[in-house]
Structure 1
């Protein structure tokens, strides 16, 4: 599963190779409410075919209509702003008077899309520097803290995995979790010293390692853009890794298991040199309560909670597994009929 960024880059590289005229559209700034964040991208071909998204659909429609009517006429990048007036905000589906600023860039061999795609596919974090006056492009290695910026006629964008995820255990749930996480633009590492689990791993684009999980945690030097999820149900594998992960700045550390098992895990962790504040960082039972039963549903539940934590959203207790189950017990069998 490619991320949206990779899908757009792949389309750009392929269209250029096939001789199509095309443009690369990047959201560079938003004011108020907007459907897509800064850094969102879209590719548009001369016949109106698009990949990616920069809004809820209305701005795409306007860009497509312009291309179909006039063709691709830009010879250098252009800054385009939508939604300044109330009429435009209504017309282009920008809620609450939102405004969105785009850079629309005509592409060619000079755009270096093939190189950028290759780097992104190798999960190399890359900085792309675009000169708005000339369309010249430079590529360089990006630092994890680099962000999109536009100033003095230069647009800098960052491509590649911005977030890292360590999954402990290589079982079926891990494969589903990793598959979705790759689509969410995580660089995923799966760690499992048990050969019988690693041997059945069938998902590409993920690093699968054999070392002990706590050693991998130390080697990865986890930072505030890292997440750790323990899925083995084996304290010998999970606990030592969680102990090391909870000492780091990882924004999310979680472990699968029932409420009873997670309570026991916290008691075991207190036997190590962890503070109560560090132990309190542990998420478990992980996920939000959606009545999940299958591995895919559990993976969605886990990543929903992780995404909320990443985005700084405090979830109500009723959405936790414990709170949700307690609430469900108090509801009638068919709430709609009550």
Structure 2
């Protein structure tokens, strides 16, 4: 769960505790283009105060106007669609005639929002099941890491802590990568036992640790909502992190380096008793091929690949650094041979 949606839940719980009526709005389905993804949330207080978003702003305005005029009058959750017609799509700012389906849920103290917030802040992954007919909500430990399921009778949403990122190395590239990662709402930890690097580290929103990388990986207890990126170019540091991270459920484990260094790294890691399946999880050289040369461009390349992995997008080999460079070399050799 990103910090925006957690803030929606925390504000809802606070408003309820203060005696306000609150309407919780959740995006449950989209067709075509949509400004906000499935699972995005908005809370509207009876006096029109609002936190979160479900669109580019026009749908929020309509919901706020509805609440201001009528209050939170409904007693049970209801589903609502916006943008069914081209006219509505234009009115509500939905691009390309998109359609969005929302669930509007009037909250009470029995909705379990305060308990849900406490569980998420404690680092637990929670499934919340809402009965559309009664408005009753049930909280249970979740198995999946993300997801929204809506069948018209129940709404299942998964809530959990923020995605975490462990970066090995506090060099220049790490500064750019971590700055962007903070903007992407990752909880970023930077590990580097070298004082000459950590003494100058000052990227806001990140945590710096000076322990050995393998110890840090184990201490963080990485799960499916974690990513690890090794950026030091020093095998004594990168390999220590990778050999432990590849044994965890982390959704992304990557390492910077050339194709030659990557091949040597894989050979070294195999000596640490990593099996072929674990080694296959390593993204190396990390990133997608965009011709990047500068540290900011390399950071963008790595985070693009990481984002695809987070969102379950399988990238074609031609987009990966190793595959793209191999094809470019083959093309160059073919041209050279033709010129002879």
Q: Do the two structures share a fold, i.e. TM-score over 0.5? A: yes
Report what 2:286 is aligned to: 284
Q: 1:152 to 1:80 in 2, by over 3 A?
A: closer
Question: Which has the larger displacement, 24-33 or 247-256?
Answer: 247-256
Using the TM superposition, give the Cα deviation of residue 80 of structure 1 relative to its aligned residue in structure 2, in angstroms: 0.9
Q: 1:70 to 1:138 in 2, by over 3 A?
A: same
Q: Distance in 2 between matches of 1:228 and 1:156?
A: 29
CA offset digits 1:52-102 (Å, max 9, x no partner): 111222211211221223222222211111122232223222233322111
8 A contact 1:243–1:269 mirrored in 2? no
DSSP 3-state at the match of 2:30: strand
Q: 1:61 to 1:74 in 2, by over 3 A?
A: same
Does 2:121 match 1:124? no
Report what 1:168 is aligned to: 168
8 A contact 1:288–1:319 mirrored in 2? no
8 A contact 1:111–1:136 mirrored in 2? yes
Does 2:5 match 1:5? yes
Using the TM superposition, give the Cα deviation of residue 28 of structure 1 relative to its aligned residue in structure 2, in angstroms: 0.9
Question: Which has the larger displacement, 82-91 or 208-217?
Answer: 208-217
8 A contact 2:288–2:320 mirrored in 1? no
CA offset digits 1:95-145 (Å, max 9, x no partner): 333221111112232222222222222222111122222222222221135
Q: 1:251 to 1:30 in 2, by over 3 A?
A: same
Report what 1:67 is aligned to: 67
Using the TM superposition, give the Cα deviation of residue 230 of structure 1 relative to its aligned residue in structure 2, in angstroms: 0.7
Q: Distance in 1 between matches of 2:159 and 2:290?
A: 30
Report what 1:241 is aligned to: 241
**Within 5 A, what are the aligned runs for 1:1-338?**
3-145=3-145, 147-151=147-151, 153-161=153-161, 163-169=163-169, 177=177, 181=181, 184=184, 186=186, 191-192=191-192, 212-214=212-214, 226-243=226-243, 245=245, 251-256=251-256, 259=258, 263-273=260-270, 278=280, 281-284=283-286, 293=295, 302-311=302-311, 312=313, 314=315
Using the TM superposition, give the Cα deviation of residue 233 of structure 1 relative to its aligned residue in structure 2, in angstroms: 3.2
Q: 1:289 to 1:13 in 2, by over 3 A?
A: farther
Using the TM superposition, give the Cα deviation of residue 232 of structure 1 relative to its aligned residue in structure 2, in angstroms: 2.9
Q: Over aligned residues, Cα RMSD in angstroms?
A: 4.1
Q: Distance in 2 between matches of 1:68 and 1:78?
A: 18
Q: Distance in 1 between matches of 2:289 and 2:219?
A: 27
Question: Which has the larger displacement, 9-18 or 237-246?
Answer: 237-246
TM-score (normalizing by structure 1) = 0.73
DSSP 3-state at the match of 1:270: helix
TM-score (normalizing by structure 2) = 0.73
